Amino acid sequence: MSENADLEIKAGWVLPVHPDPTVSLENHSILIKDEKILDILPTAAAADKYSPATVIDRTSSIVMPGLINAHTHTGMTLMRGRADDLPLLKWLHDVVWPIEGAFASKEEFCEDGAMLAAAEMIRGGITCFSDMYWYPAAAARVTVRTGMRAVIGMVLIEYPSAYAKGVDEYIAKGHDIMQQFQGEDRITFSYAPHAPYTVATETWKKLGELSQKNGVFIHTHLHETREECSASCVLDRSHPACHLSENECHPVEDFRRMGLLSSKLVAAHMVHMTDEEIQLCAEKGVNIAHCPSSNSKLASGFCPVHKFLKAGINVALGTDSACSNNSLSLLEEMKLTALNTKNLAGDATALPAYTAIQMATFNGAKAFGLEDVTGSLEVGKAADIISIDVHTHAGNSPMFDAHSAVVYAAAREDVNDVMVNGKFLLKEGTHCTVDIGDTLKRMSHWRSKIMEEFPQK
Amino acid sequence: MSENADLEIKAGWVLPVHPDPTVSLENHSILIKDEKILDILPTAAAADKYSPATVIDRTSSIVMPGLINAHTHTGMTLMRGRADDLPLLKWLHDVVWPIEGAFASKEEFCEDGAMLAAAEMIRGGITCFSDMYWYPAAAARVTVRTGMRAVIGMVLIEYPSAYAKGVDEYIAKGHDIMQQFQGEDRITFSYAPHAPYTVATETWKKLGELSQKNGVFIHTHLHETREECSASCVLDRSHPACHLSENECHPVEDFRRMGLLSSKLVAAHMVHMTDEEIQLCAEKGVNIAHCPSSNSKLASGFCPVHKFLKAGINVALGTDSACSNNSLSLLEEMKLTALNTKNLAGDATALPAYTAIQMATFNGAKAFGLEDVTGSLEVGKAADIISIDVHTHAGNSPMFDAHSAVVYAAAREDVNDVMVNGKFLLKEGTHCTVDIGDTLKRMSHWRSKIMEEFPQK
């Protein structure tokens, strides 16, 4: 007698990603039951074994794990394109911070920005994101409403803000929100101290202890610019990127001394790293969230990803914010990672397509301790699944190799379906959980407000 | 009394690109008459002045010149993704050349590949492409059928092929095809000798004389890899990229001696250039077709575009082929050019969005002597126009700056309309001149054939 299942996806190609990232299974079916992956087997064999309540035909599509955005700031999406082509400090001081001062101090702004980001991310096949922004409850609520999965960052800087008066309040508010969303199985939390140059030694130590005690990951910006390293080495306090430590050293070395280098640390960027630092991070199990578009757009440098991979570091991918990219598309980041790493390494084989996919899926899950839940298609894991069409648009055909098609040719409009826990967030290109009309209406409202208060020169 | 016009496009924003690439006109209308741009004026003023037969509302879109793909090989599109992540020579010898030997020797294969390429390019806002592939009449016929504009390369290598037996026949066949399509105002031609390492000195000299005599541009690959330069410097004939000249020098220096450096030369790639060579090319008026995705994917190097621009060189953008990219999207190439040039220059202001747009439009037209016809929105020029939506998709909003929205956020699905000579090739996202069903059917046919004859390991 055949076994019941909620859904069968008949796939042209299945990319399980883990344990072997090179595997591509032709004409296989994925069976889903009770929000989880029940089985993956040849479609020809599925008919005898299962009686699915629903069957969908994706024989012209590649079916793979949902993409995981390991580093973003969803609340900034409403400022997309407000100022580009400026030097980093001018951009921050003259544009981003004044607008943030006026708007990101409003929780509603952060929530509407997070919803706009979610709409874009879902459209592009992202099922899970790791966020770091003011009022983290806003992004958590958006996660609940959209059905996405998220790692919500409990934001923290050394200074007072509209959100919190000081370190203790940042931490207390974070813990409150973590408590508030405890029942949500799709939401986990991270400590999200901003960076070595905005968080003091005592605070880092406190977070390190908390992380050790309660198992919560720490997610921060680290070694993003050359200046962060050089100013910290000589404690040049006149430079805004000099770390707040008393030690004349690179922030990574300072982290080592504070005992922060561990598999519970997710460091975004890590563009400027000595070979010794790479080795050290590999030994300590540090996770890196690589954000290639942002690094290029802000002229931060080309990140030596090939060296990270060779050293065995777990490298995930992030879009960073819509202000420094300006897209929230991991399809773009996968391609850029593969292309630029090949070019930097001077070796066209340095980062094959399947590795880029692994970085955008399994490695993202592993970075935040979710590798038993999501990030690959394996029996028993959550049904966090996307399908990518390879037969409808001229731009993604012919399809000879599924990994290549996803990384080098697929675009947002090729993403057919997006599901989390077996529930459709996008079906045949149409949003199921986001009211796109309302999201764009709110976007327009804030756009007008920003243009009123900060008219462009 | 008001003046007749065929069409009025009411645009949210108009980017004319030339003469001032920074200009963005809000709430302007473009009037089209007899295939040409009749006027560009504030929409409020258009009502009194013109009686257009048709009016389309694009007040939620950016309207700009069609994109110009300055370097591609459309016939290769049917091999997209057949082999990636391989070293260049292994890729050519083991995969591309054997498949080309079996299939590109068929004119029908080249034509179906060109049609697939055209479908993709039109969908992504490209109105004009400069092609270089076997059986150039195939791409010319596709240009006629799709309504695109093209510069068709009269392909040439020193060696015999299925297409021609030797240099004289390559040239004669090219001239025949040029003659055959003489009445087509949307088609011009270039001499398309492949590269210094596949074309001999006598042939280069002959092409130089022909170009001077009949005003036809020369389009070739130049200084793509470091090895092309280093092997040519020492005449290392064992290296496949060593130029066929007797001179121990860089190919650019050899071109100087042969009198080939001029404003009639379009050199694709130019990744490896000394400061003196950059200065020389600027003085001679050489045009460069920059192909950033291809350069990165093949690990050829990061191209010093900021130095070219500073020297005053006309730099256009190309996608290269679907085998070394694997997309034919100038939206991607614009973003990658801006991002990587900033990063290479270590300066976030090194290549602003409006310059990327200028490269993908006006500079492409200028490279091939078409700057009086297309590449910008100016009264009297051909109505080669596209519109890009900035209010329907979450990924391309809010819109604060039109140049930024096009370069850093727009994706293929944001392209609404594409027209050439005032005729729609794409209208509201739907192809008007390409039978996409038939195009994909032919693609499937060739995909099966390739998989039959060259089964993947």
- Tens of pLDDT, residue by residue over B177-215, are 999 999 999 999 999 999 999 999 999 999 999 999 999
CA A116 to chain centre: 15
A395–B120 CB contact, under 8 Å: yes
User: What percentage of residues in chain A have a pLDDT greater than 90?
Assistant: 95
Q: Look at residue B381 and tell me whether its pLDDT is greater than 70.
A: yes
| φ, ψ dihedrals at B447, nearest 5° | -60, -45
If you average pLDDT over every residue of chain B, what do you get? 96
What angle do helix axes A330-345 and A353-360 make, rounded to 10 degrees?
Answer: 130
- Mean pLDDT over A374-381 rounds to 98
Q: Provide, as residue numbers in chain B, all residues whose Cβ is less than 8 Å from the Cβ of A338.
A: 85, 297
**Best of B227, B309, B355, B400 to mutate (most A CBs within 10 Å, chain A):** B400
Amino acid at B298: L
Q: Which residue has the tokens 């000081």?
A: A166
A140 min Cα distance to partner chain B (Å): 19
Query: Which pLDDT value is given to residue A95?
Result: 87
User: What kind of fold does domain B3-65+385-420 have according to CATH?
Assistant: Urease, subunit C; domain 1 (2.30.40)
SS3 B151: strand
Q: How far is A301 from chain B (nearest CA, A)?
A: 6
Residue environment code for B50-82, b if the CB has 16+ CB neighbours within 10 A, otherwise e: bebeeebebbbbbbbbbbbbbbbbbbbbbbbbb
Average pLDDT estimate for B371-378: 98
The domain B67-367 is classified under which CATH number: 3.90.1150.10, 1.10.1240.10, 3.90.1640.10, 3.20.20.140?
3.20.20.140
Residue A188: pLDDT over 90: yes
The verdict on A299 touching B (C-beta cutoff 8 Å) is: yes
Q: A393: pLDDT confidence band, cut at 50, 70 and 90?
A: confident
What percent of chain B shows pLDDT beyond 70? 100
Element (H, E) at B206: helix B201-214
Computed on alpha carbons and rounded to an integer, the radius of gyration of chain A in Å comes to 22
Check for a shared fold between B3-65+385-420 and B67-367.
no
| C-alpha to C-alpha distance for A279 and A308, rounded to whole angstroms | 8
Are the C-beta atoms of residues A66 and A385 closer than 8 Å to each other? yes
Q: For strand A187-193 and strand A217-222, is the pairing parallel, antiparallel, or unpaired?
A: parallel
What is the mean pLDDT of the segment spanning B244-249? 98
Average of per-residue pLDDT across B436-450:
96
pLDDT value of position A96: 87
Task: Note the pLDDT of residue B264.
Answer: 98
B388 CB neighbours in chain A (<8 A) are: none
Mean pLDDT of B210-228: 97
Burial of A35 (0-12, 13-18, 19+ CB in 10 A): middle
The per-residue pLDDT for B457 is 58
Distance CA A25, CA B126 (A): 35
* Mean per-residue pLDDT, A67-76: 98
* Residue range B99-119, pLDDT digits in tens: 999 998 999 999 999 999 999
**SS3 label, residue B24:** coil
- pLDDT tens digits, one per residue of B283-331: 999 999 999 999 999 999 999 999 999 999 999 999 999 999 999 999 9
Query: What mean pLDDT is reported for chain A?
Result: 96
Q: Compute the nearest-CA separation of B3 from chain A (Å).
A: 36
Q: Compare all CA atoms of chain B with the CA of A352 and give the residue at the minimum distance.
A: B85
- The pLDDT of residue A457 is 58
Whether residue A411 and residue B409 make contact (CB cut-off 8 A), yes or no, is no
> Best of A325, A339, A388 to disrupt the B interface by mutation (most B CBs within 10 Å)?
A339
Among residues B412, B436, B438, B446, the alpha carbon closest in space to that of B76 is found at B446
- Please answer yes or no on whether A411 and B412 come within 8 Å at the CB atom: yes
Q: What is the CATH number of domain A76-367?
A: 3.20.20.140
Entry field: residues in chain B: 457
Q: Do A119 and B342 touch (CB under 8 A)?
A: no
Quick one: what percent of chain A has pLDDT higher than 70?
A: 100
Cα dihedral A14, A16, A17, A20 sign: negative
Other beta carbons less than 10 A from residue A202's beta carbon: 11
pLDDT higher than 70, residue B3: yes
Higher pLDDT, B394 or B259: B259
Searching chain B, which residue's CA lies closest to the CA of residue A452? B400
pLDDT digits (tens, 9 = 90+) for B61-108: 999 999 999 999 999 999 999 989 987 778 888 888 899 999 989 999
Least CB-CB distance to A119: which of B322, B394, B409?
B394
User: Which among A340, A408, A440 has CB closest to B326?
Assistant: A408
C-alpha distance from residue B451 to each of A42, A401, B82, B97 (Å): 21, 11, 9, 15
The letter for the amino acid at A120 is E
Residue A387 has pLDDT above 80, yes or no: yes
Q: Is B82 on the interface with A (CB under 8 A)?
A: yes
Q: Using a CB–CB cutoff of 8 Å, tell me whether B19 touches chain A.
A: no
Look at residue B380 and tell me whether its pLDDT is greater than 80: yes
State the CB neighbour count (10 A cutoff) for residue B128.
29
| pLDDT at site A198 | 96
Q: Cβ of B78 under 8 Å from any chain A Cβ? A: yes
Q: Domain segments of chain A: what residues?
A: 3-65+385-420, 76-367
- Cα atoms found within 13 Å of the Cα of residue A153, Cβ hemisphere only: 26
pLDDT of amino acid A88: 73
Residue B326 contacts A, CB cutoff 8 Å: yes
pLDDT score at B251: 98
Overall size of chain A counted in residues: 457
Provide the pairing of β-strand B149-156 with B50-65: unpaired
- Which among A78, A86, A411 has the least Cβ separation from residue B349? A86
Token pair of A415 as six digits: 């993403």
Across the interface, whether the CB atoms of A85 and B353 are under 8 A apart is answered yes
CB contact under 8 A, B299 and A328: no
Q: Determine the average pLDDT of the residues in A173-200.
A: 97
- Strand A126-131 vs strand A149-156: parallel, antiparallel, or unpaired? parallel
Paired strand residues for B11: B28, B58
* Tens-digit pLDDT profile for residues A280-323: 999 999 999 999 999 999 999 999 999 999 999 999 999 999 99
**A409 confidence band (pLDDT: 50, 70, 90):** very high
CA-based nearest residue to A66, from A340, A393, A423? A423
Strands lying side by side in the sheet with A25-33: A36-42, A25-33, A3-14, A50-65, A385-389, A415-420, A423-427, A430-431
Please tell me if residue A280 touches chain B, with a CB cutoff of 8 Å: no
Residues A246/A268, Cβ–Cβ less than 8 Å: no
pLDDT at B391: 85
